Amino acid sequence: MITYTRAKKYQHKYLFFFALLALISLQSKAQGDLLIYPKRVVFEGAKRSYTLNLANSGRDTVRYLISVVQVRMSAHGAFENITQPDPGQNFAIKYFRFFPRSIILAPNEAQSVKIQLVNTSELAPGEYRSHIYFRAEPDKRPLGEEAIAGDSTSISVNLVAVFGISIPVIIRIGESTTNVNLTDAEFELKEGSIPSLKITFNRSGNMSAYGDVAVDHISEQGKITRVGMAKGMALYTPNLFRHFKLTLDNNMGVDYHQGKLRITYTTQADAKSAKIAGTELELNNNSK
The widest CA-to-CA distance across the chain, in whole angstroms, is 76
CA 256 to chain centre: 30
Q: What is the pLDDT of residues 35-55, one digit of tens each?
A: 999 999 999 999 999 999 999
Q: What is the pLDDT of residues 222-259, one digit of tens each?
A: 999 999 999 999 999 999 999 999 999 988 789 999 99
Listed in order, strand segments (DSSP E) in 19-101 are 29-31, 34-37, 41-43, 49-56, 62-73, 79-82, 96-99
pTM: predicted TM-score of the whole model, two decimal places: 0.81
Q: What is the pLDDT of residue 284?
A: 78
Residue 76 DSSP class: T
Residue 146 DSSP class: P
Q: What is the pLDDT of residue 240?
A: 97
First to last CA, the chain: 69
Q: What is the pLDDT of residue 117?
A: 97
Average pLDDT over residues 107-132: 95
Q: What is the pLDDT of residue 101?
A: 96
CATH topology for 179-282 is Immunoglobulin-like (2.60.40)
Domain extents for the chain?
Answer: 4-140+160-173, 179-282
Query: Taking phi first (over 0 means left), then psi (-120 to 50 degrees means alpha), and beta for anything else, what does residue 48 get?
Result: alpha
The helix (run of H) or strand (run of E) holding residue 209 is: strand 209-218
Q: What is the pLDDT of residue 3?
A: 45
Percent of the chain clearing pLDDT 70 (strictly above): 77
Task: Answer whether 4-140+160-173 and 179-282 agree in fold.
Answer: yes
What's 4-140+160-173's CATH class? Answer: mainly beta
Q: What is the pLDDT of residue 193?
A: 80
Query: Torsion over CA of 28, 31, 33 and 36, rounded to 10 degrees?
Result: -30
Q: What is the pLDDT of residue 10?
A: 43
Average pLDDT over residues 134-158: 59
Distance CA 28, CA 20 (A): 10
Distance CA 65, CA 61 (A): 13
Average pLDDT over residues 126-149: 73
Residue 26 in this model has a pLDDT that exceeds 50: no
